[in-house]
Amino acid sequence: MISTLIADDHLLVREGLKKILSEESDIDIVCEAENGQQVLDFLNHHPVQIIILDINMPLMSGLDILKYIHKLSPDARVLILSMYPEDRFAVRALKAGASGYITKASAGEELIVAIRKVISGNRYVSPEATEILVRELARPSDKLSHETLSEREFQILMLLVKGKSVRVIAEDLALSVNTVNTYRSRILEKMNLKSTQELVRYAYDQNLLE
């Protein structure tokens, strides 16, 4: 049996995924999680083979959770499931260690195929994501501003544009306020922007927010 953990903060999404997976006799859903901490708590005590992970999770993002998953359950295959189109996060997710990336819009058609591919040791990407990867390799310098950020910088960018204050971000990430302010300044400099308001506008323009 393929032990599977589903992590998504929306109950209806989890129910839909379970319905798709229940039709496969060799897939066993061993855990449901609605936030990143629940994922890590389960993995502390139970190994799993497949983790279906939403990219936009409470407490910590799917990309941030990936780092801890690899430490707690290095043999687990992570399939990122996202409402965002491939051109926003697929490359970043794969570089962060995900075994595959599919959008929620295509999950009904691609989920089982993706699970079977990653459980066999391969990566799964849609034709659209493959085209993006090829394009990035062909033109590595042709990047959007947010794609030049480090993982930590990108994490703080997403928290800022969701309206979190520097102090709250510092508490959430166990950093000092000065450190978060330094990251914020670095993000603005790298992206050639002048304020958090401009970051928010950029995030909307690039469909980084729901």
Helices 166-173, 177-191: inter-axial angle, 10-degree rounding: 110
Domains, the chain, with CATH or none: 2-138 (3.40.50.2300), 145-205 (1.10.10.10)
Alpha-carbon distance of 32 to 117, in angstroms, equals 22
**pLDDT over 80 at 58, yes or no:** no
pLDDT tens-digit map of 175-207: 899 999 999 999 998 888 888 888 988 888 877
Average pLDDT estimate for 37-46? 92
Alpha-carbon distance of 11 to 77, in angstroms, equals 22
Distances (CA, A) of 20 to 38, 118, 162, 193: 22, 17, 32, 43
Instruction: Tell the residue number behind the tokens 């690899």, with chain if given.
Output: 70
Q: What is the pLDDT of residue 62?
A: 81
Question: C-alpha angle with apex 196: 190 to 197, nearest 5 degrees?
Answer: 120
pTM: predicted TM-score of the whole model, two decimal places: 0.67
pLDDT tens-digit map of 110-160: 899 999 999 988 988 876 666 666 666 555 555 678 878 888 888 899 899
pLDDT tens-digit map of 73-98: 888 999 998 877 666 677 778 878 89
Q: Which two tokens stand for residue 208?
A: 């980084």
Helices (H), the chain: 11-22, 36-43, 62-72, 86-95, 107-119, 127-138, 151-161, 166-173, 177-191, 196-205
